[in-house]
Amino acid sequence: MPGSPGPYPAYFGAKPGGTQSYGEWNPGEDTVRPVRGRHRVARQRGGTIARSRAVLGVGVMAAVGAGGMATANEDGAAAMPGMDSAADTLNSIPVLGGLLDGAPAEETAPVAPFTSAGLTGAGFTGDEAEAGPADAGEALRARIIQQADQADAGADAQVRTAAFEAAAADAAEQAAQNAEEERAAEEERQRRAEEERQRRAEEERLRQLRESYALPLSDYRISTYFGQSGAMWQTTHTGTDFAASTGTPVKNVHSGVVKEAAWAGSYGYRVIVELEDGTEVWYCHLSSMNVSAGQEVVTGETVGRVGSTGNSSGPHLHLEVLPDGQTAVDPLAWLRDKGLSI
């Protein structure tokens, strides 16, 4: 047939020129015969509230999309290619075109108005819907961005809080460690200071002892003086005898070095201490000796104990002083010359 693009006819229904007669169709008659085979069921027109809302929702979403695309370009929707044809397409859709043009659609039920209350956190409010599709889309986009920024800010705040708490814990731990180190260092400093104090005190004591003099016995009785005559010695007595009980400690009269500590014949057990100026001090007739040759001794140190060894008539200490190591002098006068009372 002319004008047909293919093997199929460009028309529907009975062929032209047929002799089929047509009558008036009354859908209210009870004698309507059922239509058999492939057929289309006529659907009653006339929208419902749900259908109207669905159509309105499609229109709003289309408008919001168009508004969003328009705001992406500073020149507006007119500068974007294809926007005019898209608007024409929307206008050509039945019912939807009427909604966009502002004309009432055929057999469309009234639509319930939007409330002024907010829908959801990401939906439109009544004021945003009344402002227009483009403004509503921009407000929705701004609200989504604001919520995303708030979520990021909350996450950043949590990260900063955790970092601050971790830093505070590290600072507290470091402060405690520093305090412990300072306490240990202070204890060590005090310990060393005490050791140094004791060392200096001991040095001072020894210095004073080296410079000081002491009596050889604390409890004694003079039995024989220097220069006396007697049958127990060849000429005169060369020292001073201090009578005391056997075992009484004999103290060194001045600091020096032990020159001899041994048996000495008629002197019995004898200890000789040589002083710094060369003077020799002899401790004789000892029952025992507490030092040995070459040992350094200080003033007041025990060098032996009282006895009666050698040429002796009873327990006593025979003390001799030889300033040059050769000639004996009176021990009592020598001790008094060193500042001792005897």
Mean pLDDT, rounded, for 337-341: 92
pTM, full prediction: 0.47
CA atoms of 37 and 58, how far apart (whole Å): 36
The percentage of the chain sitting over the pLDDT mark of 90, rounded to a whole number, equals 44
Q: Where are the domains of the chain?
A: 221-337
**Strand 269-275 versus strand 302-306 pairing type:** unpaired
Whole-angstrom distance, CA of residue 14 vs CA of residue 18? 7
Amino acid at 337: D
pLDDT of residue 127: 60
| pLDDT score for 186 | 95
Which residues neighbour 128 within 8 Å (Cβ) at sequence distance 6 or greater? 135, 136, 139, 140
d(CA 215, CA 341): 9
pLDDT category, 29, cuts 50, 70, 90? Answer: low
**Residue 127 and residue 116 in contact, taking contact as beta carbons nearer than 8 Å:** yes
Residue 44: alpha-carbon gap to chain centroid? 80
Kindly indicate the confidence band of residue 34, based on its pLDDT and cuts at 50, 70 and 90.
low
Q: Is 289 buried (19+), middle (13-18) or exposed (0-12) by CB count in 10 A?
A: buried
Q: Superfamily assignment of 221-337 in CATH?
A: Glucose Permease (Domain IIA) (2.70.70.10)
> Read out DSSP for 42-88?
PPPP---HHHHHHHHHHHHHHHHHHHHHHHHSTT-GGGSTTHHHHHH
At 304, give phi and psi (nearest 5°).
180, -170
Q: Indicate if the pLDDT at residue 99 is higher than 80.
A: no
More confident site: 86 or 337 = 337
Instruction: Tell me which of 61 and 257 has the higher pLDDT.
Output: 257
Instruction: Identify the pLDDT of residue 136.
Output: 75
Instruction: State phi, psi for 317 to the nearest 5 degrees.
Output: -110, 120
Asked if residues 262 and 242 have their Cβ atoms less than 8 Å apart, the reply is no
pLDDT of residue 109: 46
pLDDT at 282 over 80: yes
**For 131-150, what is each residue's pLDDT tens digit?**
555 677 788 888 888 888 88
- 234-253 pLDDT, tens digit per residue, is 678 899 999 999 999 999 99
Range in 117-131, 147-161, 315-329 the model is least confident about: 117-131
pLDDT in tens, 293-312: 999 999 999 999 999 999 99
